[in-house]
């Protein structure tokens, strides 16, 4: 005789797999319920634009339950999940493109956590020094720049694979190769919140960092972080709580890290350049500035009473700002070993090529599963 079953029976099998082998999933049509769960329960997911949809339940269930009327595309199409909710990482133009993306994703991954990520032959010069990097970061701290262009100038040519382009857009997360070795890379996109960390960006960091650590991918972090996004919307989203979870995810990693501070590193989010309790290489470009708060606004917050009591509040504010501006020089921090070196931006690739070879020398000691699963 037949029988129903309790939901979740044998689900632990799928959870354990996520800590052992890389899992890529594609939605190729309408996917609901347990099918949707299996797309989401993966390290990388992709859906086809216009022909695939994902939802907990489709329109026939939603309408009588809620009174809402949607088409399948309106309820769970790529605009909802690949460009909005973050339920799916990437979108594909066709089924063929979806399979190509999964294949590319897996090319950076080991077969299991008991192996190292597979290196590829590299014909790109490890000593390549790109002149364009000298003018990449604008002198004005309010101007933006193309983060993806910067990465293309540093990593092995044609090796970038971006994950989650349209979610948490103030952080760009990519898989790439440096001197043929697979690495995970994050960089702040200053075109969104100035690169600041909102709730969606923090969630993106958590998933990406967990995945890289699970499969022994060294992490490169290019930092231009003004801090956690502020305001009423950010408070309602619980941004600081999710940001702290991101800090925990970073602290729990074991893989080698290197940070290249391009410009800003302020406040809570500014401390997320890497782990703090063990080896954590920190380089900075001459454009780097950092501290507990940016001078702009920070002086007003910290010296409000003093400024108001001054005979000339505006003059006093400018005096304090001038004092702290002198202290912001990255060279002062380097003198005290806060950063290991101030580097010529053109030397970024040669330095990273040297670092990645050293990183892969220590990785064999870390093979095997982590003590915690990836946080989906």
pTM: 0.87
Return the percentage of the chain with pLDDT > 90, whole number: 61
Domain 131-285+343-366 class? alpha beta
pLDDT of residue 299: 46
pLDDT of residue 333: 60
pLDDT-derived band at 64 (thresholds 50, 70, 90) equals confident
- The more confidently predicted of residues 370 and 375 is 370
Q: What is the pLDDT of residues 294-339, one digit of tens each?
A: 545 554 555 556 656 666 766 666 665 555 555 556 656 664 556 7
pLDDT-derived band at 211 (thresholds 50, 70, 90) equals very high
Query: What are the domain boundaries of the chain?
Result: 19-107, 131-285+343-366
Domain 19-107 class? alpha beta
Q: What is the pLDDT of residues 161-187, one digit of tens each?
A: 999 999 999 999 999 999 999 999 999
Return the percentage of the chain with pLDDT > 70, whole number: 83
Q: What is the pLDDT of residues 150-167, one digit of tens each?
A: 999 999 999 999 999 999
Question: Is 131-285+343-366 the same fold as 19-107?
Answer: yes
- Contacts (Cβ under 8 Å, ≥6 apart) of 140: none
pLDDT of residue 152: 97
Mean pLDDT of the chain: 86
pLDDT of residue 110: 98
pLDDT of residue 109: 98
Say if residue 198's pLDDT is above 60: yes
pLDDT of residue 60: 80
Q: What is the pLDDT of residues 333-358, one digit of tens each?
A: 664 556 788 899 999 999 999 999 99
Q: Among the listed ranges 13-27, 106-120, 127-141, 286-300, which one has the minimum average pLDDT value?
A: 286-300
pLDDT-derived band at 20 (thresholds 50, 70, 90) equals very high
Q: What is the pLDDT of residues 69-118, one digit of tens each?
A: 888 887 888 999 999 888 999 999 999 999 999 999 999 999 999 999 99
């Amino acid at each position: 005789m037949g029988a129903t079953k309790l939901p979740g029976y044998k689900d632990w099998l799928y959870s354990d797999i996520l800590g052992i082998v890389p899992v890529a999933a594609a939605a190729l049509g309408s996917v609901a319920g347990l099918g949707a769960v299996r797309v989401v329960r993966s390290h990388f997911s992709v859906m086809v634009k216009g022909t695939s949809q994902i939802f907990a339940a489709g329109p026939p269930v939603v309408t009588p339950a809620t009174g809402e009327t949607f088409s399948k595309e309106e309820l769970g199409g790529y605009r909802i999940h690949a460009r909005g909710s973050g339920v799916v990482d990437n979108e594909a133009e066709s089924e063929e493109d979806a399979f190509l993306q999964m294949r590319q994703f897996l090319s950076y991954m080991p077969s299991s956590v008991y192996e190292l990520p597979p290196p590829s032959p590299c014909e790109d010069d490890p000593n390549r020094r790109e002149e364009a990097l000298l003018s990449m970061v604008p002198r004005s701290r309010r101007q933006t720049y193309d983060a993806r262009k910067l990465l293309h100038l540093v990593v092995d040519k044609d090796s970038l694979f971006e994950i989650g382009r349209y979610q948490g857009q103030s952080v760009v997360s990519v898989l790439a190769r440096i001197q043929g070795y697979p690495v995970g890379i994050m960089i702040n996109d200053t075109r969104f919140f100035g690169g600041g960390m909102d709730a969606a960006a923090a969630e993106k960091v958590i998933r990406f960092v967990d995945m890289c650590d699970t499969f022994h991918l060294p992490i490169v972090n290019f930092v231009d972080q003004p801090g956690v996004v502020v305001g009423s919307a950010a408070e309602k989203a619980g941004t600081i709580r999710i940001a702290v979870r991101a800090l925990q995810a970073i602290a729990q990693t074991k893989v080698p890290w290197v940070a290249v501070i391009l410009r800003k590193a302020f406040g809570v989010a500014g401390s997320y350049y890497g782990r703090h309790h063990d080896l954590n290489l920190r380089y900075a470009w001459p454009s780097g500035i950092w501290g507990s708060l940016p001078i702009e606004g920070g002086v007003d917050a910290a010296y409000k009473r003093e400024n108001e009591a001054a005979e000339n509040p505006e003059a006093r504010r400018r005096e304090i700002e001038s004092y702290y501006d002198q202290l912001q020089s990255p060279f002062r921090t380097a003198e005290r070993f806060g950063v290991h070196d101030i580097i010529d931006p053109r030397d970024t690739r040669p330095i990273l090529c040297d670092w990645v070879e050293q990183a892969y020398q220590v990785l064999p000691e870390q093979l095997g599963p982590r003590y915690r699963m990836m946080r989906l």
